[in-house]
Structure 1
Amino acid sequence: MVRYLNQQVGFNNASRYVATMLFVLSATTVLICRPNPEHPRNSSAKWRWSTFWDKTAFRNPCFCWLSAAVFFIFLGFYPVFFNLEAWAAATGIAFRGNSRPEGIPPNAIETFALLSMMNGSSFLGRLLSAGIADHLGSYGAVHVHSFVTAAASILLMTFWTTANTVGKAIGFVLLFGMFSGAVIGLPPASMAFTIGKTDKLAQAKLGQRVGMMYSIASLPALVGPPSCLRLDDLVSGPSDSHELIDNVLRAYLKLLDAELFQGNQDYVRRQFLYCLLQDDDVDTLHLAAALLLFDGRTNETAFELLQSEGAFSRIVELIRAQRDDDIGLHRLLLELLCEMSRIQKLTLEDLKVVDDAFVLYLFQLIEQLSDDADDPYHYPIIRVILVLNEQYMCFANAPAGSGEKVTNRILKLLSAHGPLYRTFGENLILLLNRETALAHQLLILKLLYLLFTTPSTYEYFYTNDLHVLVDVVIRNLLDLDPSVGKMDEERDGQKALRHTYLRVLCPLLRNTQLAREGNNYKREEVRKLLHLLVNRSAAHFAPVDETVIRLVIRCKQIEWLKQDGDEHDEELERKLAEFAPKESDVAKKLMGMSLDDAGVSSLSVVEVAAKVTKEKPTVPAPRRRRKKSMGMATNGTHGAGLKVPPTDLSASISGSEDAREGGRSPFADDAEEV
């Protein structure tokens, strides 16, 4: 009743209505009820303190034991009524309010319904227990009271802890409500038993004794519910302070769904951003970083705001400083830096903040043992390094004359200090073996391509690690099927991933220790893989495309993969010739014109303009560009490889020679060439 009154008329008026109802009921009781005329009655002139509190009652052991029992009963039973709704909502058995949240069972009910069922069965239990006690005679009240107390305690210890469905919860509240009603309703009858029937003067003090007993029990009834709630937090909550902070943050994340945030998103984001930029308190930084991270994962506007407000340098500074102070905050900052750098291109000023000391600091953290049992391989740090490498490649792939060149510090430091940081390479291969996300696999493969095409990092990996990498590449190439996918984007992603694996496989087999005599790992398996990739008779694969054929030809020309009497190359060249475009296709693609129609355009100017795509903050997967100079083989096997100056490890991937030849990146797709 109070709940609905609060909703309809507000708390103040609801309190007035309840007080009026209690006054009417109490007044009715005073007017109707009459004391037993056989009991002696105190006159108003004799009312003293002893009228309400009789010290002689504590000389009666039965009174003391019964009062103590009721004290502890009220301490343990009332928390059930007060915390029932919170328990039901936390376990998903029921829900608060009128709206049903997502993810709960379809038969879940309102928490208020469970409390109503318990109160209703409690009323029935009071009536039945009183009738049974009268029927059993003089000892009936004590026996019934003891039985229902024991039964209710057993229900709490067994039935409540196993009530994990709606049906079990309803059964528990009905049974417990009935027994708890008897437990709470029978104390006056038990007190009458302790007084006896022979002493009329003692019987006259029954009301006084009952009042004293309930006065003693009022304190546990008041402090029991909040004390039990606090005890549950201490016992079941995490013992580690970092985990406790994380749990508090998860509660604060509900702010993202609140009307306050939905109606003022930009203002709230900026307030948390300013906390991140200006505050040095660890808890405040933890809260701000968590909210910005989770908000950005659902709405990239938050990451764009971080970029526009210059938060990149601040996050880098905090990552340097917060490792020893708070590991949880350090990981949050790493994830925030990774996410904001993954979805957009950084500015030149931001990348200049990442100096050699910061990159070495990340490599050194990977070499150390992880303090996080859930992240023994430092995956957040590795992903930051991969994203930074992607940013360097974006600047290297920019058109000539667009700005200052940026040194790829990842490649530079691995070239200079690679043997000191081989744990990074081991974890990188392990991450590729476990990774299922397309974007993360491409990031790893791009860095591997750079390492295998840079002379100073040819032998960065241990030979055993290269064996593992070959196994991973073979398995993933066999599992990938570009024809599988619900959306065109998904099929294109599978196709691009296959191309990238092949582009990494070629320098892996040609430039590393695997090319040495005696180290030719799984030669026959690699040859079989290359055969399957271009063999259309294999039903597992989609029809082979031109890029796959070119990449397979490139791999088959590796010296230690060649075999005497190999006749497959001519067949591959024939298949490749099938994809060669005709002159009419060239005119159609470039100008929207048909030669047969005497130059009549089949595409409008608007349609042609629509084909121009904007530059994205990422670069395509690596490829080996075919040179157009005379004397070059048509199969593209002698194209220019990646050039990294030995003294200045610049992030320029194509090199000056590529710039002179039109500025086309070696990471562009073969399909773009005509």
Structure 2
Amino acid sequence: MDDSIVYHFDDASDFYAELDDVLQQRTCDTSEIANEITQTYLNLLINFQNDFLNTLVEVSYVMYKFIDSPVYTRYHLSIIRHLITTRAMTSSDLGELAVVYSLLLHAGREDQTVMKTIVQTSVSTQGANHFLKKLCDEIRYCVGGTRFTTILLMLTFEMCKVARLSKQDLGHISPAFIHYLLDIVESMSTDIDELLNYSAMRLILVFNEQFMMQRAMNSIDGEQESQNQILRVLKSKLGSSKTFSENLIFMLNRADDACVQMLILKLLYLIFTTEGLYEFFYTNDLCVLVDIVLRELCDLGDESDAEALRQTYLRVLNPMLVNTQLHYTPYKHQHIHRILCAMIAPRAYRPVNPTTQRLVQRIMEDWWADVCNEHVAPVVGLHLDKIQIGPDNVAVAIAADSPPKASSPIVSTPKSADSITILSEPASQTTAISNPKSLSKGDDADRGVLCA
């Protein structure tokens, strides 16, 4: 943008026409020219954002206008690296950063390769991500208003989704920072605009995932286990995080993104298996959560991704029924039992997934047998002749003098601790997270999948 030219636009159409001219008026055959065009385009946005970019729709429109241009399509990686090194990591001007961060956010969401480039460009030779630290500092010190903070939260979330943070990076996620994020959630409980609230929620979820991956890597390397700061802070805020707990359930109820669902389920699993957090949710909220889990167990399809998600729901259901207030407060016991039996009953048109079968059997033993004091019926198919249908069409074991054979999967499964397994795309390897409280009686070599 030529500083000697004074721009004046009568309306938005003139402004958008000028943006089109910037993208089309020069032949772009080198990365240097592409960077110059980018700078001119961004300077127009920076100088006139208060006039023509007052809504998220308007911001998205001008960002995708640039992302869809031939200039960006041909030189996008060079442009992104140039923006990171010359503007994003060095500037402290909030007006400039609001535009630059918005472009990085939209470009990274559009193409995961771009988001990985953002992360790689901002990592030092020592492995520390200085750009991530800058973003966290800007969030923590509240350098901008609500709109700028929302952009910061969303960009940090997208970066943490595609990369495993180093120990040094995790050091920036302090208890004070997590307290601040939770305070944002609680303070926005009555705000009509949910974007800031749920952006803070998603960032907490992905931070939890990062702590889980770090713990897994420490376990593999034989190092001392690191503390999950998310769980530590949640313990200290027990009874004072009502909005966070309610929003967590609300997000799971309406989430159509399998990645976000998996992040929520992993945090729920840790809450229900961490002593001191068993009663983090109110009983009524737990009942709502049971309804959501049952719905998802029934509605998820037969694809491999859906099956992995279904298995994660089952892993969460087990400790939720055993460790929380639901242990003492009956809620839809018969209905839960019927659904579980139906999931592993043999069907001619669909085989029973062996991992799903083991998880259901484990719930039958830990909850139906130990908590509800009901007989466990061998409903897997080998002993259908030894099942009778009781009240409410519930399958129960028949007389004690006709026990299942020793080979019944229900009674022959060896004991071991349950685990949730994380697939870390950046690390390109699978690592296991042990259950803090051993509940299981089944061999679980299965793997839950994190959508990165």
* Among candidates 334, 337, 340, match of residue 524 of structure 1: 334
Map of 2:104 onto structure 1? 292
Aligned residues with identical type, % of pairs = 33
1:100-119 alignment to 2 at 5 Å? none
Matched, 1:561 2:381: no
How many angstroms does 1:305 deviate by?
Answer: 3.0
* Among candidates 62, 81, 84, match of residue 273 of structure 1: 84
| Secondary structure of 1:412's aligned partner | helix
Supply the distance in 2 between the matched residues of 1:347 and 1:292 (Cα, whole angstroms): 22
| Secondary structure of 1:278's aligned partner | coil
| Larger helix fraction of residues | 1
How many angstroms does 1:670 deviate by?
Answer: 6.4
Deviations 1:437-481 (A, max 9, x none): 211111111111111011111111000000000011111111112
Paired AA for residue 353 in structure 2: D
Contact 1:334 1:380 in 2 (8 A): yes
Deviations 1:594-637 (A, max 9, x none): xxxxxxxxxxxxxxxxxxxxxxxxxxxxxxxxxxxxxxx7424x
Matched, 1:415 2:235: yes
Structure 2 segments unaligned to the other structure (5+ residues): 1-9, 18-23, 25-48, 123-128, 385-410, 421-430
How many angstroms does 1:551 deviate by?
Answer: 1.4
Q: Aligned pair in 2 of structure 1 residues 525, 353: CA closer, same or farther (>3 Å)?
A: same
Q: Indicate the structure (1 or 2) with the bigger Cα radius of gyration.
A: 1
1:11-22 alignment to 2 at 5 Å? none
Map of 1:105 onto structure 2? none
Matched, 1:669 2:446: yes
How many angstroms does 1:555 deviate by?
Answer: 1.2
* Among candidates 228, 245, 249, match of residue 425 of structure 1: 245
Supply the distance in 1 between the matched residues of 2:60 and 2:436 (Cα, whole angstroms): 51
Supply the distance in 2 between the matched residues of 1:478 and 1:284 (Cα, whole angstroms): 48
| Secondary structure of 2:241's aligned partner | helix
Q: Aligned pair in 2 of structure 1 residues 458, 244: CA closer, same or farther (>3 Å)?
A: closer
Q: Aligned pair in 2 of structure 1 residues 372, 464: CA closer, same or farther (>3 Å)?
A: closer
**Aligned-CA RMSD value:** 3.7
Paired AA for residue 346 in structure 2: R
Supply the distance in 1 between the matched residues of 2:356 and 2:309 (Cα, whole angstroms): 11
Q: Aligned pair in 2 of structure 1 residues 432, 655: CA closer, same or farther (>3 Å)?
A: closer
Contact 1:514 1:521 in 2 (8 A): yes
Map of 2:344 onto structure 1? 534
Supply the distance in 1 between the matched residues of 2:156 and 2:316 (Cα, whole angstroms): 27
Q: Aligned pair in 2 of structure 1 residues 248, 469: CA closer, same or farther (>3 Å)?
A: closer
Which has the higher mean CA deviation after the structures are superposed, 325-334 or 242-251? 242-251
How many angstroms does 1:304 deviate by?
Answer: 2.2
Contact 2:186 2:241 in 1 (8 A): yes
Structure 1 segments unaligned to the other structure (5+ residues): 1-81, 90-96, 98-237, 483-490, 577-632, 644-650, 659-665
| Secondary structure of 2:163's aligned partner | coil
Supply the distance in 2 between the matched residues of 1:381 and 1:278 (Cα, whole angstroms): 25
Contact 1:338 1:383 in 2 (8 A): yes
Supply the distance in 2 between the matched residues of 1:240 and 1:463 (Cα, whole angstroms): 49
Supply the distance in 1 between the matched residues of 2:291 and 2:437 (Cα, whole angstroms): 35
Q: Aligned pair in 2 of structure 1 residues 464, 347: CA closer, same or farther (>3 Å)?
A: same
Q: Aligned pair in 2 of structure 1 residues 404, 318: CA closer, same or farther (>3 Å)?
A: farther
How many angstroms does 1:360 deviate by?
Answer: 0.7
Paired AA for residue 377 in structure 2: H
Supply the distance in 2 between the matched residues of 1:510 and 1:315 (Cα, whole angstroms): 40
Q: Aligned pair in 2 of structure 1 residues 320, 552: CA closer, same or farther (>3 Å)?
A: same
TM-score (norm 2): 0.70
Contact 1:520 1:560 in 2 (8 A): no
| Secondary structure of 2:239's aligned partner | helix
Contact 1:474 1:526 in 2 (8 A): yes
Contact 2:208 2:230 in 1 (8 A): yes
Supply the distance in 2 between the matched residues of 1:470 and 1:354 (Cα, whole angstroms): 32
Q: Aligned pair in 2 of structure 1 residues 513, 377: CA closer, same or farther (>3 Å)?
A: farther
Contact 1:499 1:547 in 2 (8 A): yes
1:115-514 alignment to 2 at 5 Å? 243=54, 247=58, 250-274=61-85, 275-308=87-120, 309=122, 310=129, 311-322=131-142, 325-369=144-188, 373-375=192-194, 378-398=197-217, 399-401=219-221, 405-482=225-302, 491-514=303-326
Paired AA for residue 258 in structure 1: S
How many angstroms does 1:272 deviate by?
Answer: 2.2
Q: Aligned pair in 2 of structure 1 residues 515, 291: CA closer, same or farther (>3 Å)?
A: same
How many angstroms does 1:656 deviate by?
Answer: 11
Contact 2:60 2:106 in 1 (8 A): no
Map of 2:380 onto structure 1? 572
Q: What is the number of residues matched between the two proteins?
A: 357
